[in-house]
A and B are shown apart, each in its own frame.
Chain A
Amino acid sequence: DTGVSQDPRHKITKRGQNVTFRCDPISEHNRLYWYRQTLGQGPEFLTYFQNEAQLEKSRLLSDRFSAERPKGSFSTLEIQRTEQGDSAMYLCASSLGQGVGQPQHFGDGTRLSIL
């Protein structure tokens, strides 16, 4: 079990730039989730994939955010025209696809800093 892998671990960029993060889930997991965590808060749900289908999106996911999982394996999260408020830790998680209550396994996150 190689765990959930996220790349990069840290990203520093200027306001207005676009950024893209990658997540590789545990290989047998067909559900993949993105969360955002700001300082002093718990993670907040952004979006969820079942295989390649994006089935749920949070209101937090503005039109500057887009997520893809093209072949049902890795996923990317892109933020366009970054703003100061986008500074956060972006966490990816994956789980098995049978039923509800499957535990989600998290990667170490990508910390985004907007200058």
Chain B
Amino acid sequence: AQSVTQLGSHVSVSEGALVLLRCNYSSSVPPYLFWYVQYPNQGLQLLLKYTSAATLVKGINGFEAEFKKSETSFHLTKPSAHMSDAAEYFCAVTLSGAGSYQLTFGKGTKLSVIP
């Protein structure tokens, strides 16, 4: 079975400060990992994905994430927060085998950006 844990349901940062959102996964086989962002009353928008090609993955809007197998982590970072980054962020995992394509999501981290 696969699972995702996002540490911190709510994170606040000042505008211009580093953003760090944590994600740890549990998987018995090599995973595919994703970060999505959700703005109020909207669906989820893909930020970036890890599919084993490179451990450091760059996404849209200046976000990146690093896959660390030894730590089973896939934390999301952005060097300098912008007001428009305020949203809810979800980490998700799917397995590389077994013919199942469903995504398993974490509970999300709500990011607030303080001016």
Contact = CB atoms under 8 A, between A and B. Distances in A.
A45 B102 CA distance: 6
Chain A CB within 10 Å, residue with most, of B44, B46, B97? B44
Interface stretch (A12-20, A73-81, A101-109): A101-109
Contact of B90 (A42, A105, A109, A111): A42
Interface string B26-43: 000000101010000111
Contacts of A35: 103
Contact of A100 (B4, B9, B101, B105): B101
Interface residues of B, number: 28
A103 B106 contact: no
A33 to B, nearest CB: 7
Interface in B38-85: 41-46, 49, 51
Interface in A41-81: 41-45, 48, 56, 58
Nearest to B4: A42
B106 A100 contact: no
A40 B51 CA distance: 28
A45 B94 CA distance: 11
A82 interface: no
Contact of B104 (A4, A31, A45, A48): A45
A101 B101 CA distance: 8
Nearest to A91: B43
B95 interface: yes
A87 interface: no
Chain A CB within 10 Å, residue with most, of B34, B94, B97? B94
B107 interface: yes
B107 A105 contact: no
Contacts of A42: 4, 90, 92, 105-108
Interface of B: 4, 9, 32, 34, 36, 41-46, 49, 51, 90, 92, 94-97, 100-108
5 contacts: A40-B9, A40-B107, A41-B107, A42-B4, A100-B97
Given A33-B101, A43-B103, A101-B49, 10 more contacts: A41-B108, A42-B108, A56-B100, A91-B44, A95-B101, A100-B96, A100-B101, A104-B46, A107-B43, A109-B43
